[in-house]
Chain A
Amino acid sequence: MRLLRFLLLFLFVSEASAQVTFDRLKNAASEPGSWLTYSGNYQGWRFSPLRQLTRENVKGLRLSWVHQMRNAQVETTPLVIDGVMYLTEPPSDVAALDPETGRVFWRYRRSLPTDIRACCGRVNRGLAMYGDKLYLGTLDSHLLALDSRTGDIVWDVEVADYEHGYAITGAPLSIKNMILTGVAGGEYGIRGFLDAYDAETGERRWRFYTIPGPGEPGNESWTGDSWKTGGAPTWVTGAYDPESNLVVWGTGNPAPDWNGDARRGDNLYSDSAIALDADTGELRWHFQFVPHDVHDWDAVQVPVLVDDEWEGQPRKLVYWGHRNGFYYVLDRTTGRFLFGTPYVKQTWAKGLDENGRPIRLPGIDPSEAGVVVWPSAIGATNWFSPSYNPETGLFYLAAWEGPGLYVKGADEYRPGEPFYGGRQVAILEEDPGYGVIRALDPKTGKKVWDLELVGKPMAGVLSTASRLVFAGSHEGYFYALDGDTGAELFRIYLGGDGLGGIGGGAAMYAAPITYELKGKQYVSMSSGSALFTFSVP
């Protein structure tokens, strides 16, 4: 009898569980009920085609359920795929839960060493999925494949040595049958890279070093051996253009952050957009936003890939609201600079030249006494996702208006130790500035509207086809806004302020997502140490 049951089991074991294919990821818009990848689509839009929640009914949102976690500073973007929500929890844990009730199916807990090098919080921003596996980057710099049904480890590879300052905080990106992951560690003097791994076996397919080695073009932009410890990490998930098989990814600051004396030169490819062939990892083009950065103005924003008219011609574009205070439009085929303009107050550049290179003003470099410059080192914006909405035609982002203090210090490198070359103060008591949720016209970089905030937001932005914008504040307010005007349509205080590790202890560090289940649209947002999910009853 028991043997019979055993045999029956074999009949049951089929391929009915979730299967994410490259086609599904490429055509994310055709299943708007799901949230398949970090930014919702490959193009980095954080836009949902769902229309059930509207500007009229969104005020009726009610709490559906809450998912509690052990730690605050939740930066995760959950995935919702085939009726299951998968999310990471800080520091490097995973949960699978029912997106209708919030009840947990399974959890994976990573045992981490105690001496993790994470400059800015023991955080994780999310997962990638391919086939029936989930992919997780961990703070001890491993990449894991987990069985999406059980959370069991399928493979576990070391991406880099965490004891040398590497960590993984970003969500991996699934392309074809590869899993791409970047690394963090710009504050520890790593040599940054972007890796691709075989989704099935965990074998590394390619590695692109964001700092060229000796003999490679770009290595001459570093003096001496500074390229070896030059940072340029890749800690925020990039975008992908399937049509041209192009990965577009942002790179972080050169190290040490605030003292550039030992690394004279442009320091390629730090603070850049890099575009790689997805199959080989070969560089197709790069655009460096901040040559020889001494302000920690990473290009760790999600690249927004849009096909639209430019000067009367259809063109493949990249939109980029940068940490340095400028908004950029690049040509996606060549990487050529098309346009750039400040979108916040900035005091460091006279403007951009015809190639997009900043024309620096004097007296802006960090000094021992400290120099005040707009924007602060947290930036005009940071890793928190922007949203591009093809219905309103607008580009939304959370931004900071305010100055910061930059202090130069010693720059001795010791493996695995903080390598800042100074310090910064991101919010000045005498001039704390303010935060905004801001809508820009992506063609001109001009502000269309602001939702002005007291605290400076650290949370990303979501928009929908029904012209809604969802955003979060420093204090823990979750908003639904009119995408055309910025008018507040819904607001709830979720709390959690003071719990986060950076940016003055914000409540919200994640970006919202939306999904549909059994005909009902939900929207989820994290605050404090919990994920909150809402719907209209």
Chain B
Amino acid sequence: MYREAAPWRKRPVEDRRSGIYNPVAMWGLLFAVLQATSVDLAEGRELYRLRCAECHGGEGEGGRGPNLADGVFYHGDTDSDLSHTIQNGITGTEMPGFAGSELRISQLVAFIRSLNRAARPSELPGDPARGEGLFRASDCLSCHRLGPEGSFAGPDLSSVGSRRSLRHLMDSLVDPSRDVRPRYRVASIVEVSGARARGFLLDEDRHTIQLLDLDGALRSFFRQKLLSIETSRESIMPSYADVFEEGGLNDLISFLSTQRSGAPR
């Protein structure tokens, strides 16, 4: 999958319509950033620290949330798009909306733009080509998806490079249970009939529980027909801390960091 030296420079299909690759918009952006006063930027930075950094990283490098410093915004990259996303959140993801005044939102946008402007592609700590070899040899695709290949049991890695910082990728390989998104928590249930099921806990309410079975079936259960439910916050992915030889993990995260195709969900 690794094809070029700087794939993050490649314009994703989703983002070809407008925005920062368009020279007109580029000047507009520059203008907007220059226009923002240092006070606005400072306000924006403080807001960002309180509201955004936990997921997107202190410098927008990404963590639990996408990287905001590489200039790729999948939900629209105009100032108005960014404001809209900040205000309304992104349905179906963990991104909440932030109900701030127009001024506060614009300060936040200005700060995010400044991250953008300053951002440089991180120096990859290893060799992505070797990393791809490890990725394939380690059967990562028996759980994860990468474009048209792979399976359903782990997060889709097709665009993980634009959503996760190198540090987050390393943490996830060394200690997968450190940050398990709710969608990947595993529930084990026993039905009154004695039947058992185990799967990812997709959703639950007072009356029902929804699983993606580990055999790939989507199933809904009525709680009153269950004897027990146990939910684990531990990842079912094993730690790769001691699996590879010297430098292997760096190669692997370098490969993962170059996976930036398609839109994240």
**A residues bordering B, Cβ < 8 Å?**
2-3, 5-6, 9-10, 12-18, 70, 82-84, 96, 98, 100-101, 103-109, 111, 113-115, 132, 147, 149-156, 158, 201-202
Contacts and interface: CB of A to CB of B under 8 A. Distances in A.
A151 B265 contact: yes
A164 to B, nearest CB: 14
A101 B234 CA distance: 29
B262 A153 contact: yes
B246 interface: no
Nearest to A99: B220
Given A83-B219, A111-B14, A103 B208 contact: yes
B212 interface: yes
B245 interface: no
A6 B13 contact: no
Contacts of B234: 2
Interface residues of B, number: 44
Contacts of B237: 6
B203 A12 contact: no
A270 B65 CA distance: 49
A158 B17 contact: no
Given A153-B156, A154-B148, A155-B148, A111 B215 contact: no
Contacts of A16: 213, 215-217
A206 B162 CA distance: 35
A219 to B, nearest CB: 33
Given A103-B210, A106-B212, A147-B152, 17 more contacts: A5-B236, A9-B153, A9-B214, A15-B216, A16-B213, A83-B217, A84-B218, A96-B218, A100-B220, A103-B220, A107-B91, A107-B92, A111-B263, A149-B152, A149-B218, A152-B145, A152-B265
A152 B142 contact: no
B17 A113 contact: yes
A103 B234 CA distance: 25
Contacts of B215: 12-14, 16-17
A115 B17 contact: yes
A3 B238 contact: yes
Contacts of A10: 142
Interface string B132-161: 000000000011010110011100101000
A156 B236 contact: no
B76 interface: yes
Contacts of A132: 216
Nearest to A147: B152
Given A6-B237, A16-B215, A153-B156, A109 B145 contact: no
Interface residues of chain B: helix, strand, loop or mixed (majority) = loop
B239 interface: yes
Given A3-B238, A70-B91, A111-B263, A103 B148 contact: no
B75 interface: yes
Given A16-B215, A111-B74, A103 B203 contact: yes
20 contacts: A5-B238, A6-B236, A9-B143, A9-B153, A12-B213, A13-B151, A14-B215, A15-B216, A17-B218, A105-B210, A106-B218, A108-B265, A111-B74, A111-B76, A113-B17, A149-B152, A149-B212, A149-B216, A151-B265, A153-B156
A17 B218 CA distance: 8
Q: Which of A10, A82, A132, A201 gathers the greatest number of chain B CB atoms within 10 Å? A: A10
B230 interface: no
Contact of A150 (B142, B152, B208): B152
A104 B203 CA distance: 8
Given A13-B215, A111-B263, A105 B202 contact: yes
Contact of B152 (A6, A152, A201): A152
Q: Which of B151, B214, B220 gathers the greatest number of chain A CB atoms within 10 Å? A: B220
Instruction: List 3 A-B pairs, minimum CB-CB distance, nearest first.
Output: A17-B216, A98-B220, A12-B214
Contacts of B203: 103-105
B205 interface: yes
A82 B220 CA distance: 13
A132 B218 CA distance: 12
Contacts of A147: 145, 152
Given A6-B236, A103-B205, A98 B210 contact: yes
A96 B214 CA distance: 17
A16 B213 CA distance: 10
A60 B139 CA distance: 54
Contacts of B152: 17, 147, 149-150, 152
Contact of B218 (A2, A6, A105, A109): A105
A184 to B, nearest CB: 19
A106 B202 contact: yes
Contacts of B158: 152-153
A128 B203 CA distance: 25
A150 B262 contact: no
A147 B156 CA distance: 11
B153 A13 contact: yes
Contacts of B239: 2
